[in-house]
Amino acid sequence: MSNLLQMRLTAKRAAAQDVVELTLEPASGAALPAVEAGAHVELHLPGGLVRPYSLCNAPGETHRYVLGVLRETESRGGSAAVHELLQVGQALAVGAPKNNFALRPTPAHKLLLAGGIGITPILGMAHQLAAQGRSFALHYAGRTRARMAFLAALADAPLAAHTRLHVGDENSAMDMPAVLAAQPAGTELYVCGPAGFIDAALAAARQLGWAEAHLHRELFAAAPRQPDGDDQPFDIELEGSGELIHVPAGCTAAQALQAAGLPLLTSCEQGVCGTCLTRVVAGEPEHRDQYLTPEEQAANDQFLPCCSRARSPRLVITLAT
């Protein structure tokens, strides 16, 4: 694909137990698209896998991208490939940065909450807020210090003054309601980490009456959901050509489209990252993603075929080429 960045892995080091830090630089030496706090890129890994990982380097940098990748115990192949297969000097194709978790350009105090590997986008936000001299607090929770990444960066000026660590086996788990209650009125929340950690933060904020517009979260994986057991087959029609692709029960729309040789790029395969977002021309999707807002889902003019299905017998879609 023409929009992919051709890069080279120039450094790979342990950032914590089961976490590696990757430094990627442009193969040509040309400037990269500038880093934005909260953004992610998609790595095209050996074996044809495509996986999104958050950028954690300082915003504005154009000479490198820095990522932190956790080795997942139930890896679907992506994190295992990063940890086991990638070697310094290796060439990689990388998607241009995307940002679904951007900092709002408001003067409000920012509360940054990170759980585990959720520190990766939060670290970039802390770098940006510190560089701008803006008001913020960063709270980082982990089970053990050995599993918490980028502690050296957080311990250095200017981040140290804004950062508090909550280490489970040292000073107990984070008291989420107490942390939120200590923030000034009008604070905006940015939270990333395991689904349970995010849910607890959002629940505490809502209990305290925080406005929904001030609550921002980044998911790395979809929340567990029970198998529906009643998936109905449906058809997908391609606008213009009229080509029909049948999607049987037990098969995702993305799998059916790719099996038909159609150009659909997927990444998380869980409805979180938005990579496979597809325009819907006619028909009613059954939204199962955690990427679109409720308002965007209600419009029914786009869906994520990696996880969502159809309420109508047929969806008419347009695929990007």
Q: What is the DSSP string of 29-74?
A: -PPPPPP-TT-EEEEE-TTS-EEEEEB-SPTT--S-EEEEEE--TT
Give dist(CA 56, CA 35) in Å, integer: 9
Q: Is the pLDDT of residue 220 over 70?
A: no
Predicted confidence band of residue 145 (pLDDT cuts 50, 70, 90): very high
Using DSSP's 3-state secondary structure scheme, residue 139 falls into strand
Instruction: Give the model confidence (pLDDT) of 16-54 as tens digits.
Output: 999 999 999 999 989 999 999 999 999 999 888 888 899
**For the domain with range 234-318, which CATH number is right: 3.40.1390.10, 2.60.120.1440, 3.40.190.10, 3.10.20.30?**
3.10.20.30
- In this structure, the strands spanning 314-318 and 302-303 are unpaired
CB neighbours of 41 closer than 8 A, spacing ≥ 6?
52, 53, 55, 65, 67, 94, 95, 96, 97, 98
Options 3.40.50.1220, 2.40.30.10, 3.40.50.620, 2.30.33.40; CATH for 5-94 is 2.40.30.10
Q: What would the CATH number be for the domain defined by 110-218?
A: 3.40.50.80
> Does the reported pTM lie above 0.85?
no
82-132 per-position pLDDT tens digit: 999 999 999 999 999 989 899 999 999 999 999 999 999 999 999 999 999
CA distances from 16 to 71, 163, 170, 174, 228 (A): 11, 18, 17, 20, 38
Q: Domain boundaries in the chain?
A: 5-94, 110-218, 234-318
221 pLDDT tier (thresholds 50, 70, 90):
low
